[in-house]
Structure 1
């Protein structure tokens, strides 16, 4: 249903699953395992996996905190997009990477739910992409000291409002990692 012409393909985004980003993340190990399962399914179905990697003053490029968690390994030939803003599209080559592969539907995983995940979901949606959030494959750290809800509530709320997201010619949705399938019936899992 994407509004992007001639873009029938799907890609998985793995956003910011870096040591320094998820060191204190809610349900870190379970989320990493779910992302690994999603990546395995994508690879088995020849669905592109695109790795998004953030850097800034607190997450310097090439530092240990900047590196992806060791449980998730990018394969040769899988794209990596380097970003400096929450929205993975902003001032990056993500759009070009996706256009080259004819992608109009994104399956989104990663961190942090209340920052880069939400920004990227909305960025994709406003650019014409369909965007499915894997409901148990995104996480955030505890920011209650700043007035935010507890991480499990941030995740639950994001899943709730993204589940029925729609606009003319586009749709969002959520799916659990175990229920995600790729192929002609991917839209049936939304």
Structure 2
């Protein structure tokens, strides 16, 4: 993957896993129905999916279910603007971190994935949990700045959604660890290769 014309060096600590995948997290009807800038974010994710497919980069879909988001309901379904191809892996999860209690690690290992480009929802829950979970497991993790969103949780003390998104983008671009990279890039600057 190159970003803004320069090569993003994959430095994953996972041996023999030089490949990149686009990880699309929880863009489900009940999750993003009233999310911040929903339509623009979904459109950006759609652009990323098409670019990844055109470049032969794997697209891995993650779908959440729990007591408030029942499997099989309309709210649980992915938004219609983002149709998954049958050949693309779908990982079902019940926790914020997409790796917890799922087969995501096995899915990524099978195709030598060591670098994740992450998009989806919700920024202050499943996105944050997953980017941190991936990083501590040895993955390089690039968050797409304008391709993740959240709902307004300010009535429970959270900052407004635009501030949550801005803060997550800010701190993730400076996140570091031995032998791994973290980064933030806008949709227009992502080039899968």
TM bucket (normalised to shorter chain) is over 0.9
Greater displacement, 136-145 / 164-173: 164-173
Unaligned stretches of 5+ residues in structure 2: 1-10
1:36 aligns with 2:42: no
Match for residue 163 of structure 2?
153
Question: What's the counterpart of residue 84 of structure 1?
Answer: 94
Which of residues 109, 116, 120 is equivalent to 2:130? 120
Deviations 1:111-144, CA, capped at 9 Å, x for gaps? 0000000000000000000000000000000000
1:7 aligns with 2:7: no
TM-score, normalised via structure 1 length: 0.96
For 2:141, what is the secondary structure of its paired residue? strand
Q: 82, 102, 105: which one pairs with 1:95?
A: 105
Q: Which of 54, 58, 61 is residue 64 of structure 2 equivalent to?
A: 54
Post-superposition offset of 1:31: 0.1
Q: TM-score normalized by structure 2? A: 0.94
Partner SS for 1:157 = helix
Moved over 2 A (4+): none
